[in-house]
Amino acid sequence: MTLGIRKLIVVSLVGGVVLFANFLLVAHWLQERGVIDMAQHVRQEFLTGTAITIIVVLLILLVRPGYSAARAWAGTRRCRVCDHSIREDAQYCGDCGSRV
């Protein structure tokens, strides 16, 4: 975790607390602007139960590139540099020598 990410987390937390403390004010402002009505319309028209189910299934089925459940179960994975098959606990690729 880099220093920039830590600063971003702290700023996000402070912003979140300030926003949460003024929750009713923000909700009233959003109601006046019509954002809540538009969001309800979008939810009713486009986020049906079927659409949410499909999105959740796609998120579950998406895996990182090169990941194979069968290969992970067998205790092997692929080198990111040369795509050589290496053991799961190996720190260096046996073929190209790069750190994995």
Where on the chain is the footprint of Zn ion (CB under 5 A)?
Answer: 79, 81-82, 84, 93, 95-96
CB of 84 to Zn ion, least distance (A): 5
Q: Give me the sign of the Cα torsion angle 88, 92, 95, 96.
A: positive
CB of 69 to Zn ion, least distance (A): 21
For Zn ion, give the closer residue by CB, 30 or 78. Answer: 78
For Zn ion, give the closer residue by CB, 53 or 98. Answer: 98
Burial of 79 (0-12, 13-18, 19+ CB in 10 A): buried
Greatest CA separation for the chain: 63
CB of 18 to Zn ion, least distance (A): 48
- Distance (Å, rounded) from C-alpha 59 to C-alpha 47? 16
For Zn ion, give the closer residue by CB, 7 or 84. Answer: 84
